[in-house]
Amino acid sequence: MSALDSVPTAVSRPELRAGEMLAEGGEGRVYELVGRPGTLYKAYRRPAQLAPLEALIAWEARLAEAQPELAARVRAATAWPQAVVTQPGAAGGTAAGLLLPRAPRRFAVRHRDGTSRLATLSYLTADPGQRAAAYGLALPAPVSADRIGIVYALARVLEAFQRAAPPVGHGDLSTRNILWSLERGPEVFLLDCDSCERYSPDGEALDSGHRRRAMTPNWDDPATPAGANPTLASDRYSLGLIFLRVVGAAHFPLQRRQRDSELLSIDFAIPPAARRTRSLLDGAVVWSVCARSLSTRDPARRPAAAEWVSALEEVLDGLGAMSAARAVWAAQGGGTPAPSPTRSAEQAADVRVRPVAMSGAGRRWERVRPPGPGLPALPQSTRPAPPAAAPTRTAAPAPLPAPPSIVELARTGLGRGGELWLGAHRATLASLSRAGRRRRATRQVIGCLVLDFALLAVIFYMCAMVAGVLLGI
Amino acid sequence: MVNVEERYAVFPFYLCLDASASMAGTPMESVNRQLPLLRAAVGEDPAVAEVIRFGVVTFDDVAHTTLPLSDLSLVEAVPTVVAAGRTSYAAAFDHLRQTIEDDYHASRGKGDRWYRPAVIFVSDGRPTDDRERWQSAHSRLTDTGWKRHPNILSFGFGDADPAVLAHVSECKPHRAFIAAEGAEPATVVPELLAGLIQSIVSSSASVYSGEAQLVPPEVPSMTPIPVDELD
């Protein structure tokens, strides 16, 4: 009997002992299971239809028989449903939840404060300088082999989804549903696979009509009308978007413009280190693959994940980083080099992506350190306007802050002067105590003596002025 | 043209907190316990922190910027708020107007785009300055001729006057809320700040949809003030 014919594994709810709740979302809650450390229990808020879930479990079992190398990728890189959980006495054909594999511990990041959090894509989709300042994380630089490797790992999982028979689409490849790790080389781990959909060869959803599958805002496919389910081509869009955001380490807010039918011209910044890489030069395959992925004109013609796999291998090779690709193979289902990418004659009519030189040093990110407890936080404060002026004054207040008072100026001036005086004397003492720097030390001593003499003269003069007035001279 | 410099527009939230003497004790202890939780809940989630800017303005006889408008992921700790003095609404409104204007220009200078700021106004008392004074400061803050005029949600407990809070929220429906009579600050304040966290998280999700919405905090022990209570 093949896996296809076997009844998918089903577990009765009372057989499970749910432990700590790990997450809560719109669909349901995810719990640890007592005595089963690698498995999680996802409890749906409302009973779900059993058949599509069983079909997904069977899909993977069938893939394992037909194309074991693709199934190995799915198994290594996704929380693919393992079994349905049924509630005794519930309506027939419904599932109370699912058993899922737990993401390995390496798909987490540790913040500065020591807390461990799921390594979602959000950590990668902004300037790593910001993430370093905010969370104390050392994340790879934009356009580095690590970042490209993560997208490459994702492309390989989607390739498995798309090459299987029937193909499946994830439909919500968003920040929270894709975890990443660099511990053993670049890896991804896809969550929420129970909302995957199987499709017929011509792209028709096989289990459609029974459930709404929403895409996360900002990670959605703009070719899908509002309220409609994502299509098989939506994952192809997501892959292009994720490439831009993860490899470019930036937001790239595109969808709204695309919904407004704007033609997109995307400038992708390449840092100096990668500027000479041939596979990243203007006209390289990866840019046209990216542009075609993001096109909304004819979603069915968006490139398959397999095209990304070979394009990204070429990029990694160009960067001298095939080791990243080999690390992905070793960690996630094995692999061999993909055929060289072939340049498609097709061009996206509505999207253009071109590499440009990264400009400037980027933004500086500083942490905000508030003052100690009990102190007025900052000098900025506002007293109520004087009563006489308030009722009549409707004009905007002065846009500039009030100039500092003379007392403040004098205080800061004296403070600065004192610091300079102390610094000069310290430097002189340091020079004197160090052998071999006699000439410089002599110069500094003379400088200090002149400075002190001048200061003494000024102080004497001021004292004399005050004393003169007091004594009536 | 789209490039790496382009970022999501940010949603500024100002917590405008009454720090007058009546807030001393339980209410302020509660605030000082809850604000670090808010910082962690918003700041430690990059997807939320990315699009939210949060600042705290406190007021008594004068108004202070206790926490300048910040990306909470970059804030190390929230300063402790100390309660003292009277309740000058005028100082609060004047300070907010100036702060919003300054923050806006500083943000623009760094390339940030803004959604209309939200002010979460929290008070346990009535304004101690005279009506004309705080109302004229309020009208400067809410002046529609001023492009940055914020949406104000107001929350009152203790001696707060529903009619005054309705005015603070420009008599807009579901913008002003009052705690039930006799409600304990020890219950109300944590609920309010927990609601504020939820409000910020939900509002941040709406930013990503491209149509930012100010999702009001849900505070179980408070009820919306009917608009017609204004005298």
Token pair belonging to A246: 């993860």
Taking one residue from A and the other from B, the number of pairs with CB-CB distance under 8 angstroms is: 178
What range does the domain containing B53 cover?
11-229
Q: Which of A102, A118, A152 is the last residue of a domain?
A: A102
In a domain, A330, yes or no: yes
B101 chain-A contacts, CB cut-off 8 A: 396-397, 399
Instruction: Reduce the DSSP state of residue A423 to 3 states and report it.
Output: helix
Question: Which CATH number is A343's domain given?
Answer: 1.10.510.10
Q: Are residues A263 and A324 in the same domain?
A: yes
Nearest CA in chain A to B47: A122
Least-confidence region, from A36-40, A105-109, A393-397, B1-5: A393-397
Shortest Cα–Cα distance, B61 to chain A (Å): 7
Least-confidence region, from A39-43, A282-286, A459-463: A459-463
DSSP string, chain B: -EETT--PPBEEEEEEEE-SGGGTTHHHHHHHHHHHHHHHHHHT-HHHHTTEEEEEEEESSSEEEEEEEE-GGGB--PPPP---S---HHHHHHHHHHHHHHHHHHHHHTT--BPPPEEEEEESS--SS-HHHHHHHHHHHS-TTSTTPPEEEEEE-TT--HHHHHHHTTT-TTSEEEEPTT--HHHHHHHHHHHHHHHHHHHHHHHHTTS----PPP-TTEEEPPGGG--
In a domain, B1, yes or no: no
Whether A400 and chain B come into contact, CB under 8 Å, resolves to no
Q: Are residues A142 and A90 in the same domain?
A: no
Contact state of A370 with B140 under an 8 Å Cβ cutoff: no
In a domain, B2, yes or no: no
Asked whether the beta carbons of B24 and B84 are under 8 A apart, the reply is yes
Per-residue pLDDT band for A388 (boundaries 50, 70, 90) equals very low
In a domain, A256, yes or no: yes
In a domain, B168, yes or no: yes
Q: Are residues A140 and A269 in the same domain?
A: yes
Q: How far apart are CA A363 and CA A227, in angstroms?
A: 38
Q: Are residues A307 and A320 in the same domain?
A: yes
Instruction: Reduce the DSSP state of residue A18 to 3 states and report it.
Output: strand
Q: Are residues A110 and A53 in the same domain?
A: no
Summary mean pLDDT of chain A? 86
Number of domains, chain A = 3
Contact state of B94 with A216 under an 8 Å Cβ cutoff: no
In a domain, A405, yes or no: no
CA dist A392 to A397, B135, B137, B231, Å? 13, 11, 10, 23
**Greatest CA separation for chain B:** 57
Nearest CA in chain B to A266: B2
Asked whether the beta carbons of A196 and A231 are under 8 A apart, the reply is no
CB-nearest to A217 from B70, B90, B208 is B208
pLDDT at A383 over 60: yes
Number of domains, chain B = 1
A380 chain-B contacts, CB cut-off 8 A: 64-65, 68, 95, 99
In a domain, B5, yes or no: no
What range does the domain containing A423 cover?
418-471
Instruction: Tell me which residues of chain B, numbers 20 to 39, contact chain A at a CB-CB cutoff of 8 Å.
Output: none
Contact state of A216 with B208 under an 8 Å Cβ cutoff: yes
**Which strands form A18-24's sheet, in the order they lie side by side?**
A10-12, A83-86, A94-101, A39-49, A28-33, A18-24
Amino acid at A341: P
**Model confidence pLDDT, tens digit, residues A54-84:** 999 999 999 999 999 999 999 999 999 999 9
Q: Are residues A192 and A117 in the same domain?
A: yes
Least-confidence region, from A39-53, A100-114, A362-376: A362-376
Token pair belonging to A51: 């058949």
Contact state of A376 with B64 under an 8 Å Cβ cutoff: yes
CB-nearest to B137 from A122, A369, A385 is A385
Shortest Cα–Cα distance, A240 to chain B (Å): 15
Contact state of B80 with A373 under an 8 Å Cβ cutoff: yes
Mean pLDDT of A369-387: 55
ipTM value for the complex: 0.89
Any idea which residue has 């304040």 for tokens? B189
In a domain, A384, yes or no: no
Q: Are residues A148 and A21 in the same domain?
A: no
pLDDT at site A409: 60
pLDDT at A457 over 80: yes
Mean pLDDT of B44-50: 94
Q: Are residues A269 and A350 in the same domain?
A: yes
Q: Are residues A63 and A135 in the same domain?
A: no
Q: How far apart are CA A211 and CA A231, in angstroms?
A: 13
CB-nearest to A126 from B2, B50, B140 is B50
Q: Is the peptide bond before A166 cis (omega within 30 degrees of 0)?
A: yes
Question: Which CATH number is B129's domain given?
Answer: 3.40.50.410
Instruction: Tell me which residues of chain B, numbers 114 to 153, contact chain A at a CB-CB cutoff of 8 Å.
Output: 129-130, 132-134, 136-137, 139-140, 143, 146
pLDDT at A415 over 70: no
DSSP string, A249-285: TS----HHHHHTTPPEEEEEEE-GGGTT-GGGSTT-H
Number of Cβ within 10 Å of residue A82's Cβ equals 17
Residue bearing the bigger pLDDT, A8 or A300: A300
**Preferred mutation among A219, A382, A392, A400 to probe B, highest tally of B CBs within 10 A:** A382
Asked whether the beta carbons of A122 and A132 are under 8 A apart, the reply is no
In a domain, A236, yes or no: yes
Q: Cβ-count burial of B116 within 10 angstroms (0-12 exposed, 13-18 middle, 19+ buried)?
A: middle
Q: How far apart are CA A70 and CA A63, in angstroms?
A: 7
Instruction: Reduce the DSSP state of residue A355 to 3 states and report it.
Output: strand
Question: Which CATH number is A12's domain given?
Answer: 3.30.200.20
Q: How far apart are CA A414 and CA A420, in angstroms?
A: 10
**Model confidence pLDDT, tens digit, residues B182-201:** 889 999 999 999 999 999 99
Q: Are residues A39 and A137 in the same domain?
A: no
Q: How far apart are CA A128 and CA A94, in angstroms?
A: 45
CB-nearest to A384 from B66, B75, B90 is B90
pLDDT at B167 over 90: yes
**Model confidence pLDDT, tens digit, residues A420-448:** 677 667 666 666 655 545 666 777 788 87
Q: Are residues A192 and A251 in the same domain?
A: yes
In a domain, A427, yes or no: yes
**Model confidence pLDDT, tens digit, residues B57-95:** 999 999 999 999 999 999 999 999 999 999 999 999 999
Q: Are residues A345 and A293 in the same domain?
A: yes
In a domain, B38, yes or no: yes
In a domain, B6, yes or no: no
Contact state of A378 with B77 under an 8 Å Cβ cutoff: no
> Of the candidates B76, B83, B77, B69, which has an alpha carbon nearest to the alpha carbon of residue B29?
B83
Asked whether the beta carbons of A185 and A149 are under 8 A apart, the reply is yes
Contact state of A134 with B210 under an 8 Å Cβ cutoff: no
Whether A2 and chain B come into contact, CB under 8 Å, resolves to no
Q: Which of A357, A386, A409 is the last residue of a domain?
A: A357
Asked whether the beta carbons of A305 and A236 are under 8 A apart, the reply is yes
What single DSSP character describes residue A244? I
Q: Which helix H or strand E contains A240, and what residues bound it?
A: helix A234-242
Whether B91 and chain A come into contact, CB under 8 Å, resolves to yes
